[in-house]
Chain A
Amino acid sequence: MKHCLWLLCLIALPSWAIIDGHKYPFEDPEDTARFEQLAEDLRCPKCQNQNLADSNAPVAADLRDKVYELMQEGKSDDEVVTYLVDRYGDFVRYKPPFRLDTLLLWGGPALLLLFGILLLALLRRQQAQPVAELSAEEKARLEALKSSLDEESK
């Protein structure tokens, strides 16, 4: 039983590995949540597929410190993001801004969807073309075939 308890404690250990709460203390739990959200949304410039919260690169630690410092100064989320974008470029944002040069990025999926719908509609219309009417001769043949089938099934 005692061993089990120890084991449980060990299992819980990795939860400490997430951003050290003692290093970035906030009085308001709302600010803690804001800080964590910012660290999630901002990207580490060095390790390109990690956010600030995940990365243990020195530059990510510096940027976390900076975010904390700016928040202590009473800066809003937008101001913090702008501060970093001014220095590191849009790259530090995981969510790119909506601008003329990012139009394709934001509009691309909608454009593709529209293209797909258009293509589908085009193909549908082709398939839906009415079948030509049977001539009298063909009708007679059809009837003959039908009746021969009936004969067989009897």
Chain B
Amino acid sequence: MNRLLLFIPLVIFALMGLVFWVGLGIEDKTSLPSPLIGKPFPEFELGVVEDGRTLTTKDLQGQPALVNVWATWCPTCKAEHAFLNELAEQGIRIIGINYKDDVMKARDWLKAYGNPYAYNLSDPQGKLGLELGVYGAPETFLIDSEGIIRGKHIGDLNPVVWESLGKQFGEMQ
């Protein structure tokens, strides 16, 4: 009995080690789970960057899409842009939210780097961004044909990320 008691600290150490290993190591601290998954896309009424027409939440419905939050001031957005162009070429519907940005700058950007977006909603004050719980661009939401948010990715889209995200997207079709 006495001998066994000696092992208690070791067991505690092992347990704590496990907890910390999982808690501090594996979990990605920069991406927080979104409470919006499974919920309808928030209501909005915003102008479109390209032509200024006004769209609402209803216009998102119809077919699954990626909703990509980006801005010209965001270096990572530039990094992922080429990949977005690729995805658009594959026929994936991408809708942009130009987050806390200037419409003119956004238009110049799209002209310079190509436009993978079906259209871009202009959110200069970040109001829609706040509704979406955006805390850093780029962020990408997966929405299904009914306009329900099915997934979210924080950070740039790239082939590695797309392996799992694309699979989920494919299942929504």
Contact = CB atoms under 8 A, between A and B. Distances in A.
Interface of A: 45-46, 48, 58-59, 62-63, 66, 85-91, 119, 122-123, 126
B33 interface: yes
Contacts of B133: 45, 87-89
Interface of B: 1-2, 5, 8, 29, 32-36, 100, 126, 129-136
User: Chain B interface secondary structure, helix, strand, loop or mixed?
Assistant: loop
Given A88-B133, A126-B2, A45 B36 contact: no
A119 B130 contact: no
Contacts of A85: 35
A85 B36 CA distance: 10
User: Chain A interface secondary structure, helix, strand, loop or mixed?
Assistant: helix
Contacts of A91: 32-33
A87 B33 contact: no
B35 A59 contact: no
A59 B33 contact: no
B132 A87 contact: yes
A45 B33 CA distance: 11
Given A59-B135, A62-B126, A126-B2, A89 B8 contact: no
B135 A123 contact: no
Nearest to A66: B130
Given A88-B35, A89-B32, A119-B8, A46 B130 contact: no
Ranked 6 nearest A-B pairs via Cβ? A45-B135, A87-B133, A89-B35, A88-B133, A59-B135, A46-B135
B5 A123 contact: yes
